[in-house]
């Protein structure tokens, strides 16, 4: 019997996808931070070997760079946290409405919102309201809200109806079905939406400099206006590195909370 079991399992163990599963996960977890470290090291070495004028030296000092990075990360993380707190419950409420027409309208609005240029939303809010960090935060939340709501609604709708019926047959209340069955099964789609929102906010936060909200957009715009390309390059590299690291961290969280077997 044991020999038969071993023979049956041999093809599975020999499957390269199975054997490479764990190394593949490890590689994904270390590749992003290693790549970012290499890029930053190369950038620092390039700057140290370059001749910078007085304007570039003042702009590329560690204090100024850290302040811009802090503003950028704060704006991104705060906006994404607010989107998660607001959009996921809103998606659950829309799902509970049980109206296909209403669901279609919401998904249509979400698609329209995704197609709207982000810079237009930021500038429009600055015109009708004010400039500064708060306006940029509201613009990011407003722009990211509908896509996350869409993912929440889509994820819940994709849960197999038979699974819901089985849960109800076991005596679960609607709230218990939502909490124990639907949300765990929909979590990959919901978390994918949040992950996309995080990375998206990193990019859009760059244009917040146009309304005096700070961030790394200051370095990019100043580098362009003053034709100081080392300043422009450092700002762009830092934005890309932040986006990669945030996507990497969100991926770790997504893997940690994903139900086993999904």
pLDDT at 45 over 80: yes
pLDDT at res. 262: 55
Q: How many domains does the chain have?
A: 1
Q: What percent of the chain has pLDDT over 90?
A: 24
Q: Is residue 209 part of a domain?
A: yes
Q: Is residue 17 part of a domain?
A: no
H helix or E strand, kind and range, residue 225: helix 217-225
What is the Cα–Cα distance from 52 to 257, expressed in whole angstroms?
A: 47
Q: Which two tokens stand for residue 149?
A: 């709501």
Domain of residue 133: give its range. 70-257
CA–CA distance from 162 to each of 28, 159, 167, 186, 262 (Å)? 35, 9, 9, 15, 17
pLDDT at 185 over 60: yes
Nearest Cα residue to 98 out of 145, 157, 162: 157
What is the Cα–Cα distance from 118 to 217, expressed in whole angstroms?
A: 14
| Domain CATH number, residue 237 | 1.10.3720.10
Q: Is residue 39 part of a domain?
A: no
* Model pLDDT for residues 141-175, shown as the tens digit of each residue: 888 888 888 889 888 888 888 888 888 888 888 88
Q: Is residue 65 part of a domain?
A: no
Q: Is residue 195 part of a domain?
A: yes
Q: Is residue 138 part of a domain?
A: yes
> Can you spell out the DSSP letters for 73-117?
HHHHHHHHHHHHHHHHHHHHHHHHT--HHHHHHHHHHHHHHHHS-
pLDDT at 236 over 90: yes
Nearest Cα residue to 75 out of 5, 19, 135: 135
Average pLDDT, the chain: 82
Instruction: pLDDT band for 30, please (50, 70, 90 cuts).
Output: confident
Chain-centre distance for alpha carbon 36 = 17
State pTM to two decimals: 0.80
Nearest Cα residue to 183 out of 247, 91, 80, 82: 91
Q: Which two tokens stand for residue 44?
A: 């620092």
Q: Which two tokens stand for residue 174?
A: 């609607």
């Amino acid at each position: 019997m044991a020999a038969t079991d071993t023979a049956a399992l041999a093809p599975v163990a020999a499957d390269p996808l199975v054997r490479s599963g764990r190394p593949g996960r490890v590689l994904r977890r270390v590749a992003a931070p290693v790549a970012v470290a290499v890029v930053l090291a190369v950038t620092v070495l390039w700057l140290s070997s370059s001749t910078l004028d007085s304007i570039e030296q003042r702009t590329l000092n560690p204090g100024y760079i850290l302040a811009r990075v802090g503003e950028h990360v704060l704006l991104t993380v705060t906006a994404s946290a607010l989107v998660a707190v607001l959009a996921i419950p809103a998606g659950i409420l829309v799902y509970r409405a049980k109206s296909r027409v209403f669901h279609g309208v919401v998904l249509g609005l979400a698609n329209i919102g995704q197609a709207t240029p982000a810079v237009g939303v930021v500038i429009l809010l600055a015109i009708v309201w004010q400039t500064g960090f708060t306006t940029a935060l509201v613009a990011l939340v407003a722009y990211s809200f509908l896509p996350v709501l869409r993912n929440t609604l889509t994820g819940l709708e994709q849960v197999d109806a038979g699974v819901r019926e089985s849960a109800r047959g076991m005596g679960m209340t609607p709230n218990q079905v939502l909490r124990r069955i639907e949300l765990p099964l929909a979590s990959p789609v919901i978390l994918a939406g949040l992950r996309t929102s995080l990375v998206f906010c990193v990019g859009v936060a760059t244009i917040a400099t146009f309304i005096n909200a700070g961030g790394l957009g200051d370095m990019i715009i100043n580098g362009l206006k003053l034709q100081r390309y080392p300043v422009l390059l450092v700002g762009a590299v830092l934005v890309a590195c932040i986006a990669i690291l945030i996507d990497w961290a969100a991926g770790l969280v997504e893997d940690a909370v994903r139900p086993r077997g999904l």
